[in-house]
Structures are given as structure tokens and as C-alpha cells.
Chain A
Amino acid sequence: MNIIETEQLTKIFPGDVKAVDSISFEVKPGEIFGFLGPNGAGKTTTIKMLNTLIPPTSGTAKVAEYDIIKNPADVRRNIGYVAQDIGVDEHATGKENLTLYGHFYRLDGKTIKQRVQELFQLVDLTGYENKIVSTYSGGMRKRLDIAMGLIHQPKLIFLDEPTTGLDPQTRTHMWEYIRNLAKNMGITIFLTTHYMEEADQLADRIAIIDLGKLMAIDTPEKLKQSIGGDIVTLSSRATTDEEREQFKTRTEEALAGKSFVLGTQVADGELAIYVDNDTSAVPAIMNILASKHIEVESLSISRPSLDDVFLKYTGHSIRAQEGTRTTFSEMMRRRNRR
């Protein structure tokens, strides 16, 4: 029995914005299911439909065996939700935050007391029960936030971008907590992220979502295998867009029809060539480029990563798309480099 089943789930916002475009998938009990996509791909909208915060425009879903439209109250009782924003009350203590949620789930006072103690231990906050949350660090708040979603021992918890805004060290810690949840408590975790590494590290299965559409769904290993062999990445000496374009077309022409080339793709100004596992591919490429007088600044060979998987299924890199959204910070970075 699947813990989540969606069928043609669709959300269209006013202005004909298709945030989620007829997606169908299943989540099995006990797994960590990674929902991977760039910002604005439709990840949060999907979660908000599954946890009954917003109704779908069309399609259906069953969560914990209850229909999200017909039995929203039953769905809510059986799930935990940890949103991207840390939804904890800063003016209350950690214990008060947790206790209030215990009451929302209709637990009796004694059970709440016991669970609060256990949960503080689980998320490593013992000793901070009676401190006001505004004195907590970002990572501590996030851990409390997660604990609040677990007070009623749900079968399934939604973690929406659980490590966004945390520093790298705290992020690694958070991964530990999430892994332990799945392993020790047998909770199914539905996790969204735009970090490749996070999906790769945590998820048993990954769904790639882009522009509201489900592009691929499988285990990280199988997704990587689907690319074929290795990836040879070339970067040119080109400095202008025109030169780069020329480099790309010339290289593609030179390699056209070669049996070891499975495909090419441009990302971040570099040219990725998917080649089969034949070790002679790299020297062959170098010879061809030399004979055509195509100058290459650097060449690297890599095993397929999730970045490559993402690129293959969506036609763009997750980072490139984010770059256009953070023009200001990009600008600052460039300025600092000078």
C-alpha cells in the first residue's frame, strides 16, 4: 500500500499559471522521497495540495490512504508538515511551541509531556526547553520546527526545503537528523530540495520536477545510469558569446557521426559531451579537436552526477536558472572578485 498516490494532480493559479501540471507518482512507506527542482518548479505547491492547505484545480491524491479532497481532516491527523519558512513562535519557549502542537493533535497532557522530552532529545535540544525561541540559532529553530511536525508520531512528514538558509555545516547535521528519522522511527519522508547534493545524499528515490511537470522518477543510481557512460566537459578560450557559439558549433560538427558520442549539451558556457564507457573516447576527441584547430582551455572527465541527470531531463542546469534569479548577489560576487 502506497502512502502517497497522486493522479494527474494539477494546480492552476489565477492568470492561467500552471504551477503543477498533471503529475502522477507514488511514495512507498518508509522511504525518503526527494522532490528535486529549481525554485518555482512547483514543489511547494505540490506539498500544499498534499497537506490540504490548497485544493487542486484537477486530479486527485491519496495521502495516508485518505483522499485529500474528501477527507482533509483525516489527512491532517496523519501527517507532519515542516514548511520552508520556520513556522515557530519566536516569543514562546521551545516547550510551549511543542506543547501547543500536542494539543492541536488532541494528545492528553501526560503524553505531551513525555513526547516533548523525547523530541527535545531526538533533535538535540535538551536543556533548551524553557528558553525563548528568539534566543535559538537558525539551526536550532529548524530542529524545533521539525520536532513540532513529529509530536503526534505521524506516518509521513513533509519537509519543504529543510536546509535552505542554513550554513553548510548545519546542513550536514540536518541530513543526519533526517536520515535517523527514516531509519530509527520508520517515518516516510517527503522532501523537496533544489540542492542536488541533498537529494543525492538523502533520497531513496528522486522525482525531478521542472515548470510544474514531472520529468523523471527513479533511484539516484538508476537516474545516473540512464545517462549512459562518462561526461567529457570542454571549456573554450572564448570570451564573447559569439566566440562561444562558434566553439560549440565547430566542436559539434567535428564530433558529428562519431559512434562513441551519445549527445552534447551546453551549460554555464561549457560544452558537455556524453560518451560511452570506451576509454578511447577522450584521446579520440582530443585528436579530432587538434586536427580541426579547435582550441580548448580545459577538459575534464566525470562520472554522471545528478547535475548531469537534471540537465539531461530538463535541458538546463539547476544552477544556471538560479543565477538569473540572483542577479544582485551575482553582481556582488563579481565585484568582490576584482
Chain B
Amino acid sequence: MDFLSDTWFQIGRHLRTQVRMKIWIFMNLFQPILWLLLFTQVFKSLSNQPAIGDSYLQFFAPGVVVMTVMFGSAWTGMGMLQDIDMGILSKMLATPVTRVSIITSRIIASMTMLVVQALIIFTLAVIMGVTIATGFPGVLFSIVIVSLLGLGFAAFSNGLALLFKRPEPLMGIINFVSLPMMFLSSTMMPSELLPSWLDTMRRFNPVDYAVVGVRDLVSEGYIWSDLWLSIVVLAAWALVGIGFGTRMFRARAE
């Protein structure tokens, strides 16, 4: 019970902080819009390719949802760093607050914001002409999939923040890891058009499992063989992340 109420009240704190930053909200909404508009123009000539279908936008929209969640959650450790830096964390640790709630509340709060973002991107995509094969239930299913991906990233990010306690290594690692994870997947290119070594690599990449799952739901329908695999792999990814994050918290928070 204490764990739940502690988590609840801290989620409130984190969400209020985010909502108050007007520029942050603006940037987070604007960025996916930019991706949708810009990238569909860049890759326009790929439209009508058999592996892509009639429109690159239809192909790419699931990728934008996944990218937004991935980058958004990968940076959540910065908030933890700020709490460490300002002495907020150690002050909290001297209270009876349940330890784990400090990290779970951060992860859940950032997921909440990302779910809202994902819903907005879906809405926007539909306005721009994307048709969603599985309809609104499919959108909700997609959100479950990207949430699992985001949970893993957010947990790893918080864990790394606690491990290094400095922004520089965290920023370095996120930049080093996130872009290759995006390109070593079928986010922007269909797997049929990838070189074979890349097609093998993407099978070790949780981002690809999210993209494949969401793309099925948007363009194809309920392809359960893909969807189950996505859910299982991403749940494992999230669990490993949470394991790492809480372990770092126990070892490094003071």
C-alpha cells in the first residue's frame, strides 16, 4: 500500500513538472509532426515500391510512434540526474518513502506522457491519410507494445543515470545507442530492402519488434505470430531494464 501511494504522489509531482514546461510540451508535439512531414518527403520516391505499398506515410507512421517513445523514454534519466544533483534524492531517502517508488514513479510518469504523445501522432497520421487496419482497438494494442519498449528504455536510462551520476556519460551512451537502434531496424526501410546482415541484426533489436508489431496492426491486421513475438520479446526487454534500473538504485542511491 505504501508503495502504491508513494508512487502515485510522485507521479503527480513528475507530471506537474512536465506540464508546466510549455516549451517542452511544444517541442514534444512539434517533433513528431516534423518527422511525419519531413521524412515522408525525403523518402517520397520509395512510395509505390512493392515492399512499402502505395504511400511511404502509411509505412512510416508506425515508425514515428516507435521513435517518439524510444527517444522520449531514453532521456528520462536526465530527470533523475537533476534530483541527484539538487540534493532532492538524498533528502527523499532520509524519509520513510518506499525506495522503489522513486524509480517506478519516474518511469510511469514518463510513460504516461509518451502514451499521450503516441495518441496524438496516431490522430495526426489518420488526418494525413493513414488508414489503420485494426481501428481503435489496434491503436490501443500498439500503445501496449510501445509502452513495453519505452519501459525498458526509461528503466535503463534511470539506471545509467544512477550508475554515472553525471550527464555526460548518459548523453554519450544514449546518442551512441539510440540512433543505431533506429537504423538497425525496419523503422525507415522495409526489411526486404535491407542488406542481409542488417536483416539479421534487427532480430536482436527490441526496437524492430515494436515497429513490426505496430506496423502489422496499422497496415495488415492481427498477425498473431508477429504480435506474440513482439509482446514476449518486449516484455523481456522491459523486465531486464527494470531489473537493471532497480539494481542500480539499490547500489548507488544515497
With a 10 A CB-CB cut-off, give which of A81, A82, A89, A90 has the most chain B CB atoms.
A89
Which chain B residues numbered 1 to 48 have a C-beta less than 8 Å away from chain A? 2, 5-6, 9-10, 13, 16-17, 20-21
Contact status A106-B2, CB under 8 Å: yes
Contact status A89-B96, CB under 8 Å: no
Known A-B contacts A104-B6, A104-B97; A92 and B17 likewise in contact (beta carbons under 8 Å): yes
Would you give the 0/1 interface string for A49-60, flagging 1 where the beta carbon is closer than 8 Å to chain B? 001111000000
With the chains together, A73 CA to B94 CA distance in Å? 9
With the chains together, A89 CA to B16 CA distance in Å? 11
B254 part of interface (Cβ distance < 8 Å)? yes
Selected contact of B13 from candidates A52, A81, A92, A106, CB within 8 Å: A92
With a 10 A CB-CB cut-off, give which of B5, B6, B91 has the most chain A CB atoms.
B91
With the chains together, A77 CA to B254 CA distance in Å? 17
Contact status B2-A81, CB under 8 Å: no
Contact status B88-A89, CB under 8 Å: yes
Q: Nearest chain-B residue to A53 (Cβ)?
A: B254
Please indicate the chain A residues that have their CB under 8 angstroms from the CB of B16 in the complex: 91-92, 96
Contact status A104-B96, CB under 8 Å: yes
B86 part of interface (Cβ distance < 8 Å)? yes
- Interface residues of A toward B: which range? 20 to 34
With the chains together, A142 CA to B218 CA distance in Å? 53
Which chain A residues numbered 252 to 285 have a C-beta less than 8 Å away from chain B? none
Contact status A87-B20, CB under 8 Å: no
With the chains together, A87 CA to B95 CA distance in Å? 13
Would you give the 0/1 interface string for A133-171, flagging 1 where the beta carbon is closer than 8 Å to chain B? 000000000000000100000000000000000000000
Known A-B contacts A53-B90, A85-B86; A105 and B96 likewise in contact (beta carbons under 8 Å): yes
A216 part of interface (Cβ distance < 8 Å)? no
Min Cβ gap B91→A in Å is 3
Please indicate the chain B residues that have their CB under 8 angstroms from the CB of A83 in the complex: 87, 90-91
With the chains together, A60 CA to B101 CA distance in Å? 29
With the chains together, A53 CA to B89 CA distance in Å? 11
Please indicate the chain A residues that have their CB under 8 angstroms from the CB of B2 in the complex: 106
With the chains together, A86 CA to B20 CA distance in Å? 21
With the chains together, A92 CA to B21 CA distance in Å? 11
Selected contact of A91 from candidates B20, B92, B97, CB within 8 Å: B20
Would you give the 0/1 interface string for A236-248, flagging 1 where the beta carbon is closer than 8 Å to chain B? 0000000000000
How many A-B residue contacts, CB cutoff 8 Å? 70
A103 part of interface (Cβ distance < 8 Å)? yes
Known A-B contacts A53-B254, A92-B16; A100 and B10 likewise in contact (beta carbons under 8 Å): yes
With the chains together, A45 CA to B87 CA distance in Å? 15
Please indicate the chain A residues that have their CB under 8 angstroms from the CB of B90 in the complex: 48, 53, 83, 85, 87
B93 part of interface (Cβ distance < 8 Å)? yes
Known A-B contacts A92-B13, A92-B16; A53 and B5 likewise in contact (beta carbons under 8 Å): no
Contact status B87-A81, CB under 8 Å: no
Contact status B17-A105, CB under 8 Å: no
With the chains together, A101 CA to B178 CA distance in Å? 36
Contact status B91-A87, CB under 8 Å: yes
B interface residues, tally (CB under 8 Å): 23
Contact status B254-A90, CB under 8 Å: no
Min Cβ gap A42→B in Å is 16
A88 part of interface (Cβ distance < 8 Å)? yes
Known A-B contacts A53-B254, A83-B90, A87-B86; A106 and B17 likewise in contact (beta carbons under 8 Å): no
Please indicate the chain B residues that have their CB under 8 angstroms from the CB of A79 in the complex: 94
Contact status A100-B94, CB under 8 Å: no
Contact status B95-A104, CB under 8 Å: yes
With the chains together, A100 CA to B9 CA distance in Å? 7
With the chains together, A191 CA to B90 CA distance in Å? 18
Q: Nearest chain-B residue to A145 (Cβ)?
A: B91
Contact status B17-A87, CB under 8 Å: no
Contact status A77-B87, CB under 8 Å: no
A194 part of interface (Cβ distance < 8 Å)? no
Known A-B contacts A73-B96, A103-B6, A106-B96; A81 and B91 likewise in contact (beta carbons under 8 Å): yes
Known A-B contacts A53-B254, A100-B10, A103-B9; A90 and B86 likewise in contact (beta carbons under 8 Å): yes
Please indicate the chain B residues that have their CB under 8 angstroms from the CB of A96 in the complex: 13, 16
Contact status B17-A52, CB under 8 Å: no
Contact status A89-B13, CB under 8 Å: yes
With the chains together, A54 CA to B89 CA distance in Å? 13
Please indicate the chain B residues that have their CB under 8 angstroms from the CB of A148 in the complex: 91
Min Cβ gap B87→A in Å is 3
Would you give the 0/1 interface string for A61-105, flagging 1 where the beta carbon is closer than 8 Å to chain B? 000000000000100110101111111111110001000110111
Please indicate the chain A residues that have their CB under 8 angstroms from the CB of B9 in the complex: 100, 103-104
With the chains together, A117 CA to B90 CA distance in Å? 25
Please indicate the chain B residues that have their CB under 8 angstroms from the CB of A51 in the complex: 94
Please indicate the chain B residues that have their CB under 8 angstroms from the CB of A77 in the complex: 96
Q: Nearest chain-B residue to A81 (Cβ)?
A: B94
Contact status B13-A76, CB under 8 Å: no
17 contacts between A and B (CB under 8 A): A52-B94, A53-B90, A53-B93, A76-B94, A81-B91, A85-B90, A86-B87, A87-B86, A87-B91, A88-B88, A91-B21, A92-B13, A96-B13, A103-B9, A104-B92, A104-B95, A106-B96
Give 9 new A-B contacts, CB below 8 A, not counting A87-B88, A89-B88, A92-B16: A53-B93, A73-B96, A83-B87, A85-B87, A88-B86, A91-B16, A91-B17, A100-B9, A103-B9
Interface residues in chain A, defined as those with a beta carbon under 8 Å from any beta carbon in chain B: 48, 51-54, 73, 76-77, 79, 81-92, 96, 100-101, 103-106, 132, 148
